[in-house]
Amino acid sequence: MGNVTPIGAPRPRVLEFFAGIGLAKMGLEQAGFSVAWANDYEEDKKAMYVAEHGDNHPFALGDVANVTVDQLPRDAALAWASSPCTDLSLAGNRAGFAGAQSGTFWQFIRLMDDLKDDRPEVVVLENVVGLATSHGGDDLTAAIRAFNKLGYSVDVLALDARRWLPQSRPRLFLVGAQNPPEDCPDPNSELRPDWLQSFFGDPTLDTHRAALPAPPIPKTDGLDEVVEPMKPGDARWWDAERTKKFVSSLSKVQAERIAELKRGDSATYRTAYRRTRNGVAVWEVRADAVSGCLRTARGGSSKQAVVKLGGPGKKLQVRWMTPKEYAALMGAPDYDLSGARTNQALFGFGDAVAVPAVKWLGENYLLPLLRGELGVRTSTVEDALGEAVSNG
């Protein structure tokens, strides 16, 4: 087994794959890490990354398939990969790891393999929860097995950003450890729900369940606090005709709900998505004061609208959500948007990971794991896999 990072060591260094606009970097560095190298293939995302974080470490712009091991620092303690989710998302084509974009995961594995004895002690793969069901679970199994072959035992956790932010954004986190803690099964776990348990029960996989504190309870409101103040006459509010079409597309139940909120003495906010039901485009408004999952702005149907209801005049007003609101809902309210185009910003945030989810994982799992504070399993990965094979 590798050496456990001493408690007094400098901030552990990170390799950040598929870095996007740098929200994983933000959360990791808030937790006590230091990103030493990053990669992404989109120029627009790198431009936002550099505008926010500066240009103080190497950033490999381009296809990860073109990255070679000699470009990577050899002293990293953690490798983080938020690999593209297009082929794994419930809203995607479900091609899985065989897809052109999500298949880049294997390039990450290639580079970890090429690092040999210098590979980081801990690796993290962040992706959509659809990874757990992609190809009947075969894709997640393949990911765990790939990490196992590199000497990592794997934990699998599900975290929703709404535990910290008024946005429903469930994500899956695979934590691979060369020095894993003892397995601590947790019945009725908030972090490892029932639909993940089959992976821990597979005797051909080396897995562990670290003993972790419970995350905050999910939020049921808070949208009002992140909505960008906007005067009633602001040109970004939709005109009367467009607003009328919006209202006319609502179901009877939703129309009644909206009418009730509209009668309120104080203004409140909801978010809405445009969806296709029975071949007809309709708007659906969330019942709670929490945003739906932010998505990349490819076409109007993937963008969220903000609905303002009640207050003086008992009005209903609708507009598109702004980049500043996207940033706040991702846990980066002060993100530098000065040089970003609207769609550039919406795409960047919609394709990212929420900052406080990363920070929580870093503070409560990754840093304690590296410091040996979670304990260390007595058997090695090779021992565990050998026992599984011998037991059939």
What's the mean pLDDT when you consider all of the chain?
Answer: 89
Does pLDDT of 351 surpass 60? yes
Residues 270-322 pLDDT 10s: 999 988 888 888 899 999 999 999 987 654 457 899 999 999 888 999 999 99
Mean pLDDT over 14-42 rounds to: 97
Question: How high is the pLDDT of residue 93?
Answer: 39
Tell me the CB-side half-sphere exposure of residue 130, using CA atoms within 13 A: 17
Choosing from 24, 81, 85, 332, the catalytic residue is 85
Helix axes 105-115 and 138-149, enclosed angle (nearest 10): 10
Report the chain's C-alpha Rg in angstroms: 22
Question: How high is the pLDDT of residue 133?
Answer: 87
DSSP-assigned letters across all residues of 229-275: P--TT-TTS--HHHHHHHHHTS-HHHHHHHHHHHT-SS-EEEEEEEE
The tokens for 241 are 């005709």
Beta 305-310 vs 268-277: how paired, if at all? antiparallel
Question: How high is the pLDDT of residue 136?
Answer: 86
Q: Quickly count: other Cβ atoms within 10 Å of residue 225's Cβ.
A: 10
Least confident of 3-7, 8-12, 194-198: 3-7
- The closest alpha carbon to 8, from 372, 374, 375, 371, belongs to 371
CATH superfamily, region 13-218+349-390: Vaccinia Virus protein VP39 (3.40.50.150)
- The whole-angstrom separation of Cα 95 and Cα 103 is 9
Which ranges of the chain would DSSP assign to H, the alpha helix? 23-31, 43-53, 105-115, 138-149, 197-200, 223-226, 240-248, 252-262, 323-329, 342-350, 355-361, 367-370, 381-390
Strand order from edge to edge, sheet including 268-277? 280-285, 268-277, 305-310, 315-320
- The closest alpha carbon to 120, from 391, 388, 369, 329, belongs to 369
- The whole-angstrom separation of Cα 130 and Cα 373 is 31
DSSP state of 222: -
Strand order from edge to edge, sheet including 13-17? 59-61, 34-40, 13-17, 78-81, 122-128, 170-177, 153-160
Residues ≥6 apart with Cβ < 8 Å to 139? 88, 96, 97, 131
Residues 234-284 pLDDT 10s: 999 999 999 999 999 999 999 999 999 999 999 999 999 988 888 888 899
Question: How high is the pLDDT of residue 324?
Answer: 97
- The whole-angstrom separation of Cα 353 and Cα 24 is 6
The tokens for 160 are 């929703």
Mean pLDDT over 350-371 rounds to: 97
Domain boundaries, the chain: 13-218+349-390, 229-321
- The whole-angstrom separation of Cα 200 and Cα 2 is 23
Question: How high is the pLDDT of residue 275?
Answer: 85
Q: Is 85 a catalytic residue?
A: yes
Phi, psi at 190, each rounded to 5°: -75, -25
Helix axes 342-350 and 43-53, enclosed angle (nearest 10): 90
- Are 197 and 376 in contact by the 8 Å Cβ rule? The answer is no
Least confident of 67-71, 183-187, 211-215, 242-246: 183-187
Does pLDDT of 363 surpass 60? yes
